[in-house]
Chains A and B, each alone.
Chain A
Amino acid sequence: MARLIRTEKEVEGRYTEQWIVVDEDVLEQWPAGPLETVGRPVPRADGGQRARGEARYTADIKLPGMLHAAILRSPHAKARVRRIDTARARRAPGVRAVLGPETEPLTGEPAYQGAPVAAVAADTFAQARAAVSLIEVEWELLEPLLDPEEAIRRNELIEEPSREKRGNVERGLAEADAVVEAEYRTQTVLHNSMETHQAICEWEGDDRLTVYISTQFIWGVRGEVAQRFGLPEDHVRVVCRYMGGGFGSKNGAGDYTYIAAELSRATGRPVKCALTRREENLDSGNRNSTIQRLRVGARSDGTLTFLDGEFVNATGWDGWLASTGGPMRLLYACENVRTVEYGAKLNTPPMAAFRAPGFVEGTFGLECLLDELAAKLEIDPLELRRRNHSTHDAVDERPFSSKQLLECYRRADPHWERRDEVRARSDATWKRGVGLASQVWYGGGGPPSYAWVRIGGDGRAAVITGMQDIGTGSATAMAQIAAEELGLPVDRIEVALGDSARGPYATISAGSSTIPSMGPAVRAAAADAARQIIEIAAQRYDREERVLSLKNGQIVSSDGGSWPLEEITGLLESGQILGKGSRGPNPTGMRVLTFGVQVAEVAVDVETGEVVVEKIVAIHDVGRVINPLGASSQVEGGIIQGLGHTLSEERLLDPSTGGNLTQTLDAYKIPTIADVPEIVTDLVDVPDEHLTNLGSKGLGEPPIIPTAAAIANAIRDATGADVRSLPITREEMLRGLREARERRREPVGDPAA
């Protein structure tokens, strides 16, 4: 039965309230533990196509008559186009159209290096690029604002600062036996998905448009493009069957999408606009840098009395305020908390969501701060976390839908207890240590999302969706869910995805929300189809429906009879059984969060500052795990990105001009296979009993969140050095070691000691 409800939906830390039509979610959750296929490792359904190079990504799609776009981007961080002359470009070989700053999203007032100013469509990309270099521009150079702290002084902010508090920090300060105050900094990080941002736009007439695009949100692109061009949404078809990574940077349409659409409209031909790797590093989003001034106070037994943080986010020219203060507000029980978050509006490329935006940065600061507190109080860091464990949402006191963080800590114990053994393996050059960090993140996804299940005369089932699989293996998980509900082997399930014309609305693949949002819809659709099969079987075999179930490709009766499913589906001939399902509501009055802890073992060469991460143990409570094989890949992938964030990645801007110096993959260093530590994944696979018919909370983001702090805390354990700035480069590590040596030479405190 359909209902209109108001529900709360969270994506990337931002909550929205919405009215949605949902079907009642009447299915009971499956019992915990591995089932026939759900909860069992299943290789990716389309793994073969990807591995053999048969999968066609947007980068591989070539349409008849397709033109290629190239973009003239501002080389300056802030400038005005005084004069632009495209005449020579228009005459260049192969050129079919040139657009200037008067056509949005092109601009004559570029406000960051890389902002698009003009665009060319030509027969080949090389011709388009050559034509771009023939565009003559007279620039008026303006003074860019590059320093986030200066921006705050001048009140140049991307939105109103976020000010949150509960309790009374001054009272907490008075009650504290120990206070730690420190400043932490994190750097600007670039997504660098292997497939760059790109779209192909093809008009049919002047009011129908097909967009092939490497995206995380087919339906979002559809809506944005329709709105931009004033079209009914169902005149826009968005296609993304395979895409090469997004990590938050591809959550909607971008300048390149609209440029392709405009050039296609101008030429009457399909136009591909594909970013080069350098453009990708210039203008496709980033995790903005932060400056965090944090304070924590606690009683001598370790219970926190207050947390206070000021967070400066170098957001850039556009974007939004990522929730850097979120972990401080959410993770621990603490009565008195105050956070102030600023988003500096700068002449730098806009930020974009990047795998747990705000929380990666904020957890680094918070979890390092807590370890510094533990050191000051001489309390074991894991014990300190336990003592401040919250049993209900610290922000608004709602109960958690599920929280297994104490179980995560319990599972961390044996790894944590190896500390002495790890330290004992230190020698004169290499110091070894162990550190941990815990994490919290939003989970559960939400409505709407829909799926259809179609079963034909051959006894095979198709799950018809409008979703995208961004590399997480979510399509395979959907197949497992449908297979489980239909009692079929997973290889008799086909999942259709990647085309808004072919299936119903599906949620964005971001915010760890695909499985928690789409999965229940798929299960509901499969259950609907299963019900219809059973209705038919009841008539065919003269049984009551309630004694029949589907299992192992059979219709099974509780009185012992069983018949192959094909006997029923074979009756269909050209007929089909069509099931539909939708994502039900989120549990009312509850907070759905994921939790976890990571334990890192590191070795530090104290003479050269080299940091080697030898092992990471990742323990996360993510609710029910649908596919442990895909899930462990997500955990490993998140940790490896976290490793890059911690040790080697940094977008650098020339301080006087704001020019990006790390546009290439040799200057911007992501981890190689040689950098990877031993990773142990231990997922607390306990279904969230309040959450949908699945109990899965989502796990794309949790694994990246605590990694940096776990490593920094391990470094402190190994060497006594405080590293408060990411990335932990050689120079940062050497600085920390030097400071630690100087501190040891100068005893602080009682001179008589």
Chain B
Amino acid sequence: MGCERHGSGGGSLLEILRPDSLEAARAALKNGSVALAGGTELVPLLRDRIVETDTLVEIRHAVPRGIQGTRIGAGTTLGELEVDPQIPDALREACRLAASPQLRAMGTIGGNLLQATRCWYWRLKYPCWLHGGDRCFAREGLHREHAVFANAPCASAHPSDVAAALLALGATVRTDRRELPIAELYRLPTGDDRRMTGLEPGELILELEVPMPAASTYLKAMDRKRFAFALVGVAAARSSEGTRLALAGMAPIPWLLESEEALDEATPLPGNAYKLEIARALIRRALAGVGS
């Protein structure tokens, strides 16, 4: 079991490990080292020093990649999923409308689920609640892109289109230590634990099991035609158990919605109530689109 290591000659303290198996990766992912897949999220966060580490573990060769029936390797890129005719429509459409072609070619589905919020205060490192402070600058300031559900104490919105699609599809996540429904991957942050996922340190997402629905769709409202995060993303999937709705961009985590009426329980802020109007329309269209 091998692990190439590249240290730096040029004075930086960063090291990159390249394990060639899952076991090697698990061993490498200890003591604060961070997993690197496509890097589209991690590299900018490292550069901004929002994430800090001495050791990157390239997991490209350690994590499954590819689509086999309803199993999708976590290392599969969004670009690969975008053109696959077999996966559910909602997932394919969520991939197709995400980011840009280059980012889709680089970014993996596993990484996409774990991306952080685009909240401008958080990204610009304001000392906000999510960074461990005690105020939410968005609640008090500008929040047109932010959450309308569960938005206290933190109004950040979860940007992943793919996560919303998988939530509606009822996908299961298999990590290197357990299996869990995707809904259980996410948690709302609390005062004691401000993370959005319940993954243990070093825990790696390996695969997604995505059951085939009778019909599914993903609709996305953004500020320009392409290459933007969801103001509102609506995923709908109809199966024998009924129709499930999930939202992107509306809560700090991907949000399962009981019904269109559940929108009435939202707690919008003055600057983002417009999202509910868009959500209503997209939900109706999505339900019609899956024949509900």
Contact = CB atoms under 8 A, between A and B. Distances in A.
Contacts of B226: 672, 674-675
B192 interface: no
Contact of A730 (B11, B120, B137, B223): B223
A607 B281 contact: yes
B118 A734 contact: no
Interface stretch (A314-322, A449-457, A525-533, A646-654): A646-654
B221 interface: yes
Given A654-B141, A666-B118, A667-B120, A672 B225 contact: yes
Contact of B225 (A93, A608, A674, A729): A674
A610 interface: yes
A656 B126 CA distance: 13
B285 to A, nearest CB: 8
A661 B281 contact: no
Interface string B112-126: 000000101101101
Given A661-B124, A663-B124, A654 B224 contact: no
Interface residues of A, number: 29
B135 to A, nearest CB: 11
Contact of B140 (A656, A661, A675, A731): A656
A65 interface: no
Contacts of B274: 609, 730-731, 734-735
Contacts of A663: 124
Nearest to B99: A666
A661 B142 contact: yes
A661 B231 contact: no
A515 B137 CA distance: 49
A729 B224 contact: no
B278 interface: yes
Contacts of B118: 666-667
B142 A652 contact: yes
B131 interface: no
A663 B140 CA distance: 20
Nearest to A732: B274
A729 B144 contact: yes
A693 interface: no
A669 interface: yes
Interface in B25-66: none
A477 to B, nearest CB: 32
B173 to A, nearest CB: 27
A121 B143 CA distance: 38
- The prevalent SS among residues of B at the interface is loop
Contacts of B277: 607-609, 734
B124 A647 contact: no
Nearest to B221: A608
A688 to B, nearest CB: 38
A729 B281 CA distance: 17
A729 B141 contact: no
- The prevalent SS among residues of A at the interface is loop
B223 A669 contact: yes
Given A93-B11, A609-B278, A669 B140 contact: no
Contacts of A648: 223-224
A290 interface: no
Nearest to B119: A661
A214 interface: no
B282 interface: yes
Interface in B233-270: none
Interface string B135-178: 00100111010000000000000000000000000000000000
A675 B142 CA distance: 25
B120 A669 contact: no
Q: Which of B120, B121, B228, B282 has the most CB of A within 10 A?
A: B120
Contacts of B120: 652, 661-662, 667
Given A608-B278, A661-B120, A730 B231 contact: yes
Contacts of A669: 223-224, 228
Nearest to A675: B225
Contact of A671 (B142, B224, B231, B280): B224
A655 interface: yes
Nearest to A643: B224
A147 to B, nearest CB: 15
Contacts of B278: 607-609, 730, 734
Contacts of B224: 647-648, 669, 671-672, 674-675
A101 interface: no
B231 A655 contact: no
A655 B137 CA distance: 10
Contacts of A672: 224-227
Nearest to A127: B11
A741 to B, nearest CB: 12
A637 interface: no
B33 to A, nearest CB: 22
Q: Which of A656, A659, A735 has the most CB of B within 10 A?
A: A659
B121 A661 contact: yes
A356 to B, nearest CB: 23
Contacts of A647: 223-224
Interface in B266-290: 271, 274, 277-278, 280-282
A721 to B, nearest CB: 14
A735 B124 CA distance: 30
Contacts of A674: 224-227
Contacts of A656: 140-141
Q: Which of B144, B224, B226 has the most CB of A within 10 A?
A: B224
Interface in A645-700: 647-648, 652, 654-656, 659, 661-664, 666-667, 669, 671-672, 674-675
A729 B144 CA distance: 10
A608 B124 contact: no
B241 to A, nearest CB: 29
Nearest to A664: B123
Interface in A174-225: none
B110 to A, nearest CB: 22
A605 B281 CA distance: 10
B281 A654 contact: no
Contacts of B123: 664, 667
Contacts of B223: 647-648, 669, 729-730
Q: Which of A652, A667, A731, A735 has the most CB of B within 10 A?
A: A731
Contacts of B225: 672, 674-675
B273 to A, nearest CB: 8
A671 B226 CA distance: 9
A730 B224 CA distance: 10
Interface string B55-95: 00000000000000000000000000000000000000000
Interface in A115-169: none
Nearest to A738: B277
B275 to A, nearest CB: 8
Q: Which of B118, B140, B225 has the most CB of A within 10 A?
A: B225
A730 B221 contact: yes
A647 B126 CA distance: 28
Given A655-B142, A730-B231, 7 more contacts: A605-B281, A609-B277, A656-B141, A666-B228, A667-B120, A729-B223, A731-B144
Closest 5 CB pairs of A and B: A607-B281, A731-B274, A674-B225, A661-B120, A674-B226
Interface of A: 93, 605, 607-610, 647-648, 652, 654-656, 659, 661-664, 666-667, 669, 671-672, 674-675, 729-731, 734-735
9 contacts: A609-B278, A648-B224, A661-B142, A663-B124, A672-B226, A729-B144, A730-B223, A731-B274, A734-B277
